[in-house]
């Protein structure tokens, strides 16, 4: 981000007497006026609509002063609560805590948005400096003995306080959070835990910065256009744009996505280039200046120490105690049940692909080779084309980004919930490509703002994600401001943005998260929107994916970007029929990553391997679990597994499959009750999307679904 440069207006004023003097008067020149001091926008609530943070105005130098002021402000607020001579009440303790930290929250959200989507070296340095300081600030609050005594006194008499259900839940969650943060530890143990938390925050920041740098630096440079055979003109143009942006004019750059398998592997016919891309992906952050192996080992050891301090045998046991799954044994059971079916199907899929390879080698009289990970997507596309008579190149012209968004994702949301999306072009953001939509209910009342940042940039982290720039809260008088992020390659000038069906599904997925945040209808910010465990927060997003392939929705958006003609019915039917194609591969690559995550966090103190044993540890975990199948690598290897080592999904990457059980059960409920209807949408919005964590997730789901979750619909959906 460019530094803010004020326009300086220097005025030279000459004194002009009213009467002619006897002698020439002296010329008086006023000293240049000092420009007014620029107010730091983070120190006050934004005056923009919905308190939208002025991200386009912020500069790097705003953040440290705002962090300092925010921490000081909250420390004073917490001290006032803890030292209050009046007896503890829900209002003067729990609600007061909810109101505290406004400046710090505002700063953290603005900083997080820019550092993830529009970063620079200075922001990353600030992140590195502030991470342990924020951790220490949070520990000082959670381990404040006087403050916890007030919270505990209220919790012990909670049945007599006459609280409404949401307030009772807030009290319970506040108490649990403090206990899980060490509030009941002795002084020595508190010091030890604070030191662990500080080091963990530093390690997490370093891990993510390493991943970001290698994502940027480890793209694959292509010297010859002939090597790109199989890519569309639009994709070749995007690769040229990416190369030019890095000063590589006349070349092409295949940028890396965050996952192990890269999308272009399904299209490139050049096997050597496919292997280069795959190896560049899998070798990220292994060795060199951005090596993450030592960070992984130290992180795992510290997490094990933290769990032991807090009375748990492993970090997995500690983390899962606050999740819907509740225990490692429950997670292990679902991973094992699905894993056996996924391996069986993946091996069948691999055998089918090997037959294609062998047949082509025989027909062309070229050497036969064994199927490798970098071959899978390429031959799977051929298999899909043979089975369903289409490939991605045929369908992508029908998936133009704006049409998918407006006539697909927004269309289904309007049909379900009666909401409308009105684009606002007068609200600038940090990048011109970011779009802003105001969301309205059917009665015209406003819901909030939705920002869409869909394009890949070198200064943007990989993957797709949602975050709340402003949390909904009736207590604080706030409506939600939500941002959805994708990493679609930016097109060459004048070229359309054509999506793969996987990218279409990801767009719907992230809007599902967005709706979860937008529909929040709670009093307290701590319980609002997506403030739920990972194994529940992914549920609304995975459910929303369903509408991408729903025939009535697909027919509304699957239209040719040049002619506007709808996708031919025969092709349309084949796309729907192929929706479960490759279910073995997709399920196994995910389960393998989830198993690796769980295994790291089931280690006790002193059980972590040496840094040079990280990859061997992964391999042994997959072998013991029966998930080791060479052609299907884990979706993430540990060295770039940001979910687990940065963004809070440690021990919880299984959450996607657990949430998908809920999502597919919900899909079955919708279809049993009439499908895409406003009546169904209103029930789901009222019982799930609006509730945040105002009740425990299992209670919310049972109230909606009427019974316990069932795994059958998921197995059917994935073709297992």
What domains appear along the chain, each with residue ranges and CATH number? 1-142+144-184 (1.10.1370.40), 218-282 (no CATH), 293-388+584-653 (1.10.1370.10), 397-581+656-717 (1.10.1370.40)
Q: Percent of the chain scored above 70 by pLDDT?
A: 95
The residue ranking higher by pLDDT, 35 or 641, is 641
| β-strand pairing of 435-440 with 446-455 | antiparallel
506 in Cβ contact with 136 (< 8 Å): no
Distance CA 603, CA 587 (A): 25
| Whole-number Å distance between alpha carbons of 220 and 231 | 15
pLDDT value for 6: 30
User: In the predicted model, what is the mean pLDDT of residues 38-67?
Assistant: 96
Please report the pLDDT score of residue 462 as a whole number: 82
Task: Give residue-wise pLDDT tens across range 389-418.
Answer: 877 788 999 999 999 999 999 999 999 999
Instruction: Supply 142's token pair.
Output: 């959670």
pLDDT (average), residues 207-211: 93
Closest CA to 462 of 325, 288, 635: 635
Per DSSP, the three-state class of 469 is strand
Alpha helix ranges (H) inside 283-427:
293-309, 315-320, 328-364, 373-388, 392-395, 401-403, 411-417
C-alpha angle with apex 329: 326 to 334, nearest 5 degrees? 95
CB atoms within 10 A of CB 699: 12
Q: What is the pLDDT of residue 717?
A: 76
The torsion angle over the Cα atoms of residues 668, 669, 670 and 672, rounded to 10 degrees, is 80
- 3-state DSSP assignment of residue 498: strand
> What is the rounded CA–CA span in Å between residue 287 and residue 264?
25
pLDDT category, 714, cuts 50, 70, 90?
A: confident
Query: DSSP secondary structure string, 275-293?
Result: HHHHHHHHTTTSSSTT--H
Report percent pLDDT > 90 for the chain.
80
How far, rounded to the nearest angstrom, does the alpha carbon of residue 635 sit from its chain's CA centroid?
Answer: 16
Query: In whole angstroms, what is the distance from residue 568 CA to residue 389 CA?
Result: 13
Per the annotation, the verdict on 208 as an active-site residue is no
Contact 577, 620 (CB under 8 A): no
Q: What is the pLDDT of residue 697?
A: 94
SS3 call for 637: coil
Looking up tokens 């006032």 gives: 80
Q: What angle do CA 280, 282, 286 make, to 5 degrees?
A: 90
pLDDT of residue 325: 84
**Are the CB atoms for 506 and 458 separated by under 8 Å?**
no
Q: In this predicted model, which residue has the larger pLDDT, 170 or 489? A: 170
3-state secondary structure of 670: helix
Q: Give the pLDDT band (50/70/90) at residue 588.
A: very high
Q: Which helix (H) or strand (E) holds 680?
A: helix 678-684
Q: Region 344-363: what's the mean pLDDT?
A: 96
CA 1 to chain centre: 22
The token pair at 97 is: 């805590």
Whether residue 537 is predicted with pLDDT greater than 70 in this model: the reply is yes
Q: What is the pLDDT of residue 210?
A: 94
Token readout for 58 is 């912020």
Q: Catalytic residue among 510, 550, 618, 660, which?
A: 510
- The pLDDT, as a whole number, for residue 219 is 86
d(CA 165, CA 307): 31
The pLDDT value given to residue 34: 53
The mean pLDDT value for 625-652 works out to 94
Q: Looking at 216-220, 325-329, 674-678, which range is the least confident one?
A: 216-220
Mean pLDDT of 542-553: 94
Summarize pLDDT for 243-255 with one digit per residue, the tens: 998 899 999 999 8
User: 563: helix, coil or strand?
Assistant: coil
User: Would you state the structure tokens that stand for residue 568, as one six-digit string?
Assistant: 């031919």
Q: Is the four-CA dihedral 226, 228, 231, 234 of positive or negative sign?
A: negative
> What is the Cα–Cα distance from 425 to 55, expressed in whole angstroms?
15
Nearest to 599 by CA among 589, 608, 610: 608
What one-character-per-residue DSSP string does 195-207 give? Answer: HHHHHHHHHHHHH
pLDDT tens column, 432-462:
999 999 999 999 999 999 999 999 998 998 8
Judged by DSSP in three states, 660 sits in: helix
What's the pLDDT at 576?
Answer: 78
Helix then strand then coil, % of the chain, to nearest 5: 55, 5, 35
pLDDT of residue 392: 79
pLDDT in tens, 315-337: 999 999 998 888 999 999 889 98
Q: What is the dihedral of CA 372, 376, 382, 387, to 10 degrees?
A: 120
Token look-up 């590195």 returns 128
What is the predicted pLDDT for the residue at 2?
A: 37
Report residue 584: phi and psi, to 5°: -65, -50
pLDDT at residue 397 in the model: 95
Does pLDDT of 298 surpass 90?
yes
The whole-chain average pLDDT of the chain stands at 91
pLDDT at 13: 29
Beta bridge partners of 446: 440
What number is the average pLDDT over the span 355-364?
Answer: 96
The answer, yes or no, to whether residue 704 has pLDDT greater than 60, is yes
When pLDDT is cut at 50, 70 and 90, the band that residue 543 belongs to is very high
Residue 650's pLDDT band (cuts 50, 70, 90): very high
For residue 26, pLDDT beyond 50: no
Interatomic CA distance for residues 665 and 713, integer angstroms? 6
pLDDT in tens, 145-204: 999 999 999 999 999 999 999 999 999 999 999 999 999 999 999 999 999 999 999 999
On the question of pLDDT at 351 being above 80, the answer is yes
pLDDT on residue 260: 95
In degrees rounded to 5, what are phi and psi of residue 252? -130, 145
């Amino acid at each position: 981000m460019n530094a803010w440069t004020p326009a300086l207006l220097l005025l030279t004023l000459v004194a002009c007497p009213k009467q002619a003097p006897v002698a020439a008067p002296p010329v008086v020149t006023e000293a240049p006026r000092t420009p007014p001091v620029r107010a730091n926008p983070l120190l006050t609530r934004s005056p923009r609509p919905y308190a939208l943070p002025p991200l386009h105005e912020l500069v790097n130098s705003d953040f440290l002063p705002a962090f300092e002021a925010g921490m000081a402000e909250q420390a004073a607020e917490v001290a006032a609560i803890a030292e209050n001579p009046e007896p503890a009440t829900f209002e003067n303790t729990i609600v007061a805590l909810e109101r505290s930290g406004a400046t710090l929250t505002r700063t953290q959200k603005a900083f997080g948005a820019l550092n993830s989507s529009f970063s620079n070296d200075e922001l990353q340095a600030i992140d590195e400096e502030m991470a342990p300081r924020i951790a220490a600030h949070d520990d000082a609050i959670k381990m404040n003995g006087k403050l916890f005594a007030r919270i505990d006194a209220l919790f012990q008499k909670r049945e007599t306080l006459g609280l409404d259900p949401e307030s009772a839940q807030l009290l319970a969650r506040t108490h649990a959070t403090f206990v899980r943060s060490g509030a009941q530890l002795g002084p020595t143990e508190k010091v030890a835990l604070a030191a662990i938390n500080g080091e963990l925050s530093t390690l997490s920041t370093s891990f993510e910065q390493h991943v970001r740098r290698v994502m940027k630096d480890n793209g694959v440079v292509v010297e010859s256009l002939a090597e790109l055979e199989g890519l569309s003109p639009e994709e070749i143009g995007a690769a040229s744009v990416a190369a030019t942006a890095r000063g590589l004019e006349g070349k092409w750059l295949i940028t890396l996505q965050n996952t192990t398998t890269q999308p272009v592997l399904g299209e490139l016919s050049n096997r050597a280039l496919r292997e280069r891309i795959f190896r560049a992906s899998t070798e990220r952050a292994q060795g060199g200046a951005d090596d993450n192996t030592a960070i992984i080992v130290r992180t795992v050891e510290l997490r094990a120490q933290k769990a032991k301090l807090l009375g748990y045998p492993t970090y997995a046991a500690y983390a899962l105690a606050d999740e819907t799954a509740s225990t490692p044994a429950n997670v292990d059971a679902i991973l094992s049940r699905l894993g056996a079916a996924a391996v069986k199907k993946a091996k069948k899929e691999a055998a089918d692909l090997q037959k294609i390879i062998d047949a082509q080698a025989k027909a062309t009289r070229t050497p036969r080779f064994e199927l490798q990970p970098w071959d899978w997507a390429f031959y799977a596309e051929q298999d899909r084309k043979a089975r369903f008579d289409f490939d991605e190149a045929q369908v992508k012209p029908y998936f133009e980004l704006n049409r998918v968004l407006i006539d697909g994702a927004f269309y289904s949301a309007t049909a379900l919930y009666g909401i409308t999306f009105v684009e606002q072009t007068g609200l600038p953001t940090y990048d011109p490509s970011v779009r802003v939509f105001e969301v309205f209910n059917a009665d015209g009342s406003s819901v909030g703002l939705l920002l869409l940042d869909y394009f890949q940039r070198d200064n943007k982290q990989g993957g797709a994600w949602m975050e709340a720039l402003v949390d909904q809260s009736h207590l604080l008088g706030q409506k939600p401001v939500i941002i959805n992020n994708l990493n679609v390659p930016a097109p060459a000038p004048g070229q359309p943005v054509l999506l793969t069906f996987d990218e279409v599904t990801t767009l719907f997925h992230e809007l599902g998260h967005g709706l979860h945040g937008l529909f929040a209808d709670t009093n307290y910010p701590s319980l609002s929107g997506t403030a739920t465990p990972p194994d529940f927060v992914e549920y609304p997003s995975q459910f929303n994916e369903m509408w991408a392939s729903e025939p009535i929705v697909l027919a509304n958006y699957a239209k040719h970007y040049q002619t506007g003609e709808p996708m031919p019915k025969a092709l349309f039917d084949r796309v729907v029929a192929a929706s479960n194609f490759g279910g073995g591969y997709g399920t196994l690559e995910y389960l393998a990553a989830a198993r690796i995550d769980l295994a790291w966090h089931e280690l006790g103190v002193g059980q972590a391997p040496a840094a040079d044993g990280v990859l061997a540890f992964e391999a042994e975990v997959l072998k013991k679990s029966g998930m080791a199948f060479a052609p299907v690598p884990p979706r993430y290897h540990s060295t770039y597994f940001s979910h687990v080592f940065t963004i809070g999904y440690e021990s919880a990457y299984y959450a996607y499959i657990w949430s998908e059980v809920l999502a597919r059960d919900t899909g079955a409920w919708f279809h049993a009750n009439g499908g895409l209807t406003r009546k169904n949408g209103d029930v789901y919005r009222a019982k799930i999307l609006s509730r945040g964590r105002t009740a425990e997730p299992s209670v919310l789901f049972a109230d909606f679904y009427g019974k316990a979750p069932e795994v059958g619909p998921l197995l059917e959906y994935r073709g297992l």
